[in-house]
Structures are given as structure tokens and as C-alpha cells.
Structure 1
Amino acid sequence: MKSKPLSIALLAISCVAVLSLWFAASVVTPALIAEFGIGPTRAALLTTAVQIGFVAGSLVSAILGLPDRLDPRLLYCAAALTGAAANAAFLFVEPGSTVSIILRLVTGAIMAGVYPVAMKLSVSWAKNDAGFLVGTLVGALTVGSALPHFFAFAGDLNWRVVMTTASTAAAIGALLVLGVGIGPGFKNAGRFNPHVALSALKSRPLRLANFGYFGHMWELYAVWAWLGSYIAASFATTGMADAQSNARLVAFLAIGSGALGAFGGGYLADRIGRTRLTIIALAISGFCCVAAGPLFGAAPGLIILLSLVWGVSVIADSAQFSTGIAEMSEPGTQGTILTMQTAIGFAITVITVQGLPAWVDLVGWQWAFLPLVFGPIFGIAAMARLRHVPEAAKMAGGKR
């Protein structure tokens, strides 16, 4: 059996590489608009198509129980290679065209074979450290999501360089996962049972944990997708030279710093409890949603500080919803239930990622993120209720 540290390290590196596909097109959207004259609706679809594709892929995967029935490493590898190919194909079509949007849909759909599967692999190694292990994985997701911002900054927003680099990284990540070992806690499902997916909402403790996750997702991807634009607009208001380039670097640092939040959140949740950690993180990120309004156009240092705090807090709780679900689920069902969780969560992100530009047209970038605060409020309410459910004692060694 391969060692736990090596397996988790390889899995995390692989996730960083593969998940760079997610925002590859989103980061270069300003360049695509300038070169091809893409309208605002289709420009937003380059991001939301990935979310929609992920939802569709996750639902199919959950209904068929694929994460609990197939070798997770082979499923992950095949999905990642397909995503790398679809992303590379974007280079040979007209950006903003129907074909380009379909390619982004395919990229999102195959992620259903990557992220939830990686979570199940990670949990298979857990022994009183599930929060930290899944937090490490979510940290990898965070860095992977931030990488395109760095590619754009380093490549001076040459969209072809960004897309090519992301596809190459994903292909390498696909091969790396073949070296990951499966932990002793791994258990495949028996016969096919589509009702397992429905237990994610039928079981009260799982439903409350999912509600917390859904509130979190209402905020998360809208912040990741549009924080760079908010920063650029704020910097431009102060008269900063080269505001766009500086904003790309700050966005990369802010989103990438979320890895520290994911690691730290996992470490703390194993010690103070998952419900307590998630409530604290949601409260901080919700405050940032509100504070972004009055701070718009403030000194760049304050905007950078806000972005870093937001980047850390908005993801610090993410892994703990998934870890709690895994701890409260029956053995052999975690992969399917986690996939169902992420399917619904990412369906919610479509609303905020796609809808935020329309909201900005009405109120401007200053108050762009104000509607996102309702997600953390909803999530806090759900996790506070979960804390008093008896089944919550299964989480974090009884720390709830």
C-alpha cells in the first residue's frame, strides 16, 4: 500500500493542476471581448457553462453511483484528460460561439469525475484528521482556481497562453493521480441504488449540512469569478496606473490565499468542531460582502486587505461541509452523496455568477457583492441548527 503522505501530496498537486481548467476562460474574458467583440451574455456564459456542465455531470454521476462503483483513480484520470482536451479545443474555435460554450460545458461536466472523486480518495485515508485532509484538497482546488489569474498576469493576458498552459497542467495532473494510493477506509458500494443520492436531502442531518453548503456556494464562486473585476474597478477609481494588471495579481493572491484558509479551517475544525468553524467563517465572509460597498474606491492597501481576508474566509469552511457529510453518511455511499451535494451547490452558483453582471449594470461595482450576504446568513442558520442534532456527534470525533 502506498503511504498516506505521498498519496495526499500527489492528489493535492494533481487537483491544483486539473482544476486550473475551471476559470481558464473566465480570466481571459476581457481579452476575448476586446479581440472578438463578445457580448455580455455570452461572455458570462463562458463561466456559467462550466458550472452548468458540472451540475449535469454530477447528477449523472450521482444517479449512477459512479464514484462508489468504479476505481476512483481511473475515473479521475479519464475525466481530467477529457477536460484537458476540451479546453485545448477552445483554441481552435471562435470564442463566444456556440461551439466554444459547448466546450466549456464539457469541461465542467467532466469535473464531476475529478473533484468529488478526489474528496472520496482523501477521506479514505482519514483517521481523526478528516477535516484537515479534505481541507488540504480544497486548498488545492483554491490554488488551481487561482492559477489562471497568475497565468494571465505572467502572460500579459494572452488568452492562448492561458488556455494552453491550463490544458497542459491538467494533462499532467491526470497522470499524477495514477500514483495515488487508496486508503484503508475506502469502501465501494454494492448493487446500484439510485435512492442513495436522494438521502442527501431526505436525512435531516445531511440536509442541514447541505443547506450550510448551499449558502456557502451562493457566495463562493461569484466572489472567485468577479473579485478581479471589482478590484480593477476600485483601483481605476483611485486613478491607479495599469489597474487591470495590478488587479489580476491581487486577485491571484487573494484567491490563492484561500489555500491557507482551507488548511487552517480543516486543522481547527478537527479541534473545535465543524459547525463552529463554518459559522465563524461564514460570518467573516458575509461581513466582507457588505464591507466591499463602502470600501470601494478606498486606498488600494485597504482593498488588498479586504481581498485577502475575503479570500481566506470564503473558502475556510468549504471542506468542512463535505467532511461532515462524509462522517454522517453510511459507508459505501459517501462518493454518491458528496457528488449530489456538489451538483446542487454548483447549480446555485449559476444564479449568482450569471446574475451578478446584470446586478452590476444596475448598481455598479461598488455594491456588486451585497446580495451575496444572504448565502452566509442562510448557511449560519443551518449549521446552528445542525449543531443540536444528535447525529452531529459523528462529526470531528464528537466535537460536532
Structure 2
Amino acid sequence: MLTLGTALPHLMRGATAGMPWEWPLFASSCLALLGGLLVFLLGDGPHLPKASGRLPLRQGLSALRLPRFRAVAGGYFGHMWELYAFWTLVPLLIGRELQRLGQGDALIPWLSFAVIGMGAAGCIGGGRISRTLGSEWVARRALMVSGVLCLLYPWMNGLPPELLMAALLVWGVAVVADSPQFSALAAVTAPKETVGSSLAVMNAVGFGLTLPAIWLTSGLWNAWGVWVALLLLPGPVFGLWSLSRGKPEA
């Protein structure tokens, strides 16, 4: 859902080509409001316990004292450093290759939707594989693949644009395939009585890390070009290192 939701505005932009840029933004905002309304009307359902009130932040932070949960959280933090910054760079990277092919900008939103949306296949495929090989196995391999692409993509600069676009599709699959696996690992390794609080704290820190990553990569694009991909590399490297420290269980 997250992956397709992120890709959807690019599809809207492609479908409204030639129209003012405000139209896809307006449509995305309307869909967000509709989603919020559905959540409000449908509620959480009778199977969930009633919320106790404020988020017990101290309990959520206490989970980080557990080596296994801390290892998973560190892996997730590294994953998040890369994920949204990569999604931000996708239209820029695609636009560069289309320019090399002598194409205009009309295909950028369609190809951006394809690259980002391919992550849904990675999430589904990773979920199926995790049933036999475990969530940690999937998370590690996804981090490895995306980390290798962070490192190699700038050096592939001179290859045909078609090959670089294929690399972006692979990257789009790998960069988010570990996301649901980190959620599963965190739910298993967090204390049962504070699972919700622990995941909330982990997600909050992870999304907070996306801000400097996006700021750095987009801000340096004009000066560095494709070499900004190297700024994403610390994410997968740190994630793999963290997972190796705590030996979390699937």
C-alpha cells in the first residue's frame, strides 16, 4: 500500500500531462482526505483493545535496550535513510536518461510510477520468501542489493540508458522489499506489552531520518548529479551492520 500510494501521484501526473501541475497535487490531496474519512468512519474494529490514551513514550524507548529489537530498529533506520531519498531521486535519474536518449519529459511520470510501483512486487515476493527463509534473510538480501546499487550506479554512468533504467527497476524492487520484513521482525522482538509503542517510536525515528537524506540528495543533485547515490549507501551499510549485531529472530 505504501509503495503504490507513493507511486500513484506520478501516475496522476502522467495522466494529466499538459494540464497545470496543480491538478495531480489536488487529486492526491483529495484521495488523502478520502482515506482519512474512511479511517474515521470505519474505525479500528472490535477486535482491538481500547487505547489507553497518550503514547507511553518511555515504554516505547525502553524496547531499544533489548539487543534483538535494537538490531532490527537499526536495520530499519538504515533502510529508511535510503528509501525516501531514492524515491525522491527517481524522477531526476529517469529524466537524465531520457535526456541522453533525446526524449522529452513526458515519460518521466510514467517511468517513475513503474520504478517506484515495482516495489510492490518486491514486498509481495519478499513476503512469500520469508515464509520459508525468514524475514531477516529477506531484509538482509534486500539491503545488500540496494546497497550494491547505491555504490555501483554512479560508476555505471556511461552505460546505455536502457541498462540504467533496468537497474532502476531492480533498485525499485529491492529498496522497499525489506520494509514489511522489518515491521514483522520488530513486532516479534519487541516486548509483547509494548509492541505498539515500540513500533511507533521506531517508525517515528525512521521517518525523521528521511528528512536529512532527502535534503542532502536533492540539494546536491545539481552539483553532484548521479554521484548523490553514494549518499544513500550509509543506509544499507548501517542496516546490515546493525542486523549482524543483535542476531534478531524471524
Which TM-score applies when normalising by structure 2?
Answer: 0.90
**Residue aligning to 2:66:** 203
**Residue aligning to 1:227:** 90
Residue identity in the other structure for 2:82: E
Rounded Cα–Cα distance in structure 1 between residues aligned with 2:44 and 2:199 = 20
The alpha carbon displacement at 1:303 in A equals 2.2
**Residue aligning to 1:214:** 77
The alpha carbon displacement at 1:292 in A equals 1.7
Partner of residue 384 from structure 1, selected from 216, 240, 244:
244
Residue identity in the other structure for 2:142: A
The alpha carbon displacement at 1:189 in A equals 5.9
Residue identity in the other structure for 1:172: L
Rounded Cα–Cα distance in structure 1 between residues aligned with 2:181 and 2:110 = 28
RMSD: 2.1
The alpha carbon displacement at 1:362 in A equals 3.3
Residue identity in the other structure for 1:226: L
Partner of residue 326 from structure 1, selected from 173, 184, 187:
187
C-alpha spacing 1:279/1:252, structure 2 compared with 1 (3 Å) = same
Query: What whole-Å deviation, never above 9, does each CA across 1:32-51 have from its counterpart, x for those lacking one?
Result: xxxxxxxxxxxxxxxxxxxx
1:305 equivalenced with 2:166 (yes/no): yes
Assess if the C-alpha contact under 8 Å between 2:75 and 2:182 holds in 1: yes
C-alpha spacing 1:362/1:241, structure 2 compared with 1 (3 Å) = closer
Rounded Cα–Cα distance in structure 2 between residues aligned with 1:189 and 1:174 = 19
Rounded Cα–Cα distance in structure 1 between residues aligned with 2:32 and 2:158 = 37
Worse-superposed segment, 292-301 or 220-229: 292-301
Q: Highest relative contact order (Cα 8 Å, sep 6+), 1 or 2?
A: 2
Rounded Cα–Cα distance in structure 1 between residues aligned with 2:220 and 2:194 = 39
5+ long unaligned stretches in structure 2: none
**Residue aligning to 1:362:** 223
Rounded Cα–Cα distance in structure 1 between residues aligned with 2:61 and 2:221 = 36
Written as runs of structure 1 = structure 2, the 5 A alignment for 1:85-124 is: none
Partner of residue 233 from structure 2, selected from 362, 373, 387:
373
C-alpha spacing 1:361/1:304, structure 2 compared with 1 (3 Å) = closer
C-alpha spacing 1:239/1:259, structure 2 compared with 1 (3 Å) = closer
Rounded Cα–Cα distance in structure 2 between residues aligned with 1:373 and 1:154 = 33
Residue identity in the other structure for 2:137: R
The alpha carbon displacement at 1:309 in A equals 0.4
- The 3-state SS of whatever aligns with 2:153 is helix
Number of residues of Structure 1 aligned to a counterpart in Structure 2 = 247
Aligned sequence identity (%):
33
Query: What whole-Å deviation, never above 9, does each CA across 1:228-258 have from its counterpart, x for those lacking one?
Result: 111101221x24221x222221111010110
Query: What whole-Å deviation, never above 9, does each CA across 1:52-86 have from its counterpart, x for those lacking one?
Result: xxxxxxxxxxxxxxxxxxxxxxxxxxxxxxxxxxx
C-alpha spacing 1:265/1:330, structure 2 compared with 1 (3 Å) = same
Residue identity in the other structure for 1:218: W
Worse-superposed segment, 168-177 or 244-253: 168-177
The alpha carbon displacement at 1:187 in A equals 4.1
Assess if the C-alpha contact under 8 Å between 2:150 and 2:230 holds in 1: yes
Query: What whole-Å deviation, never above 9, does each CA across 1:167-204 have from its counterpart, x for those lacking one?
Result: 221233234334476485x4456586432121242222
**Residue aligning to 1:29:** none
1:176 equivalenced with 2:38 (yes/no): yes
1:247 equivalenced with 2:105 (yes/no): no
C-alpha spacing 1:340/1:367, structure 2 compared with 1 (3 Å) = same
Assess if the C-alpha contact under 8 Å between 2:97 and 2:165 holds in 1: no
